[in-house]
Amino acid sequence: MKILFIGDIVGRPGRRAVRQLVPVLRHQFDLGLVVANGENMAGGSGVTGETARELFEAGVDVITTGDHVWDQKESFDALAVEPRLLRPLNYPSGVPGHGSFVLERAGKPTVAVLNLQGRTFMQALENPFAVAQAEVPRLRERAKIILVDIHAEATSEKIALGRMLDGQVSAVIGTHTHVQTADEQIFPGGTAFLCDAGFTGPHESVIGREIKPVISRFLTNLPQRFEVADKRVFLQGAMITVDDATGLALKIERVSEAMLGSD
């Protein structure tokens, strides 16, 4: 099976790139699973039911999120009713939504997606390592192919989680920093890893936002309105080839595709 993981989708430009490119990539590579991090897809921050439906209609199977998942008030209702829209599993019990999803389809291997959030330089949630140790065996009872999105700031935390899960999951892909790293690899146990998938949206920007207000904020420390930029739109992420019988990764490649017509 070939899996496409799409890095953080930023605003309307990122959603446009998904609508344009995902159907093409699904056909070109005969993709068996498309997972996208959508925590910034609504207005540049947060998620809504409408933006989630837009991605599902474009060919995304499961949407993961992260620390901005609650930035839109509509996100609470969307997460409560749509099991394919995930929030990090290591939020406390009682929080709306789910942190993992098992996708079963006739004639295709069953796959599972697990969403976790790091704690280093981020808000204090439950320990993602302990949560993963409990959840992965449960998911393996239903699916050999498991993809993990670790939404975290620190590279060491992402790498450590990937090493801990090596041989137990198909891939551990990092999100959150919006800067695609060049460390794609397959660990000795057969788990594909990439520290950060990058972001899907306008790259003539500062991680998706208009350049001048961000520079002004760094110069003055005064509040600024960070509008989503709109030029040089790319879809970034990773393509993972997985052995259907074992669930272990055979290949991982970075993806960086320009949207047609993007300046």
Q: Which domains are delineated in the chain? A: 2-258 (3.60.21.10)
Q: How far apart are CA 196 and CA 176, in angstroms?
A: 7
pLDDT tens for the chain, 263 residues long, are 999 999 999 999 999 999 999 999 999 999 999 999 999 999 888 999 999 999 999 999 999 999 999 999 999 999 999 999 999 999 998 999 999 999 999 989 999 999 999 999 998 899 999 999 999 999 999 999 999 999 999 999 999 999 999 999 999 999 999 999 999 999 999 999 999 999 999 999 999 999 999 999 999 999 999 999 999 999 999 999 999 999 999 999 999 999 987 66
Per-residue pLDDT at 43? 87
Q: How far apart are the first and last CA of the chain?
A: 34
Q: Which residues are catalytic?
A: 68
Question: Residue 179 in contact with residue 207, Cβ under 8 Å?
Answer: yes
Q: 49-58 and 11-29 are packed helices; what angle lies between their axes, rounded to 10 degrees?
A: 30
Q: Which pLDDT does position 263 carry in this prediction?
A: 64
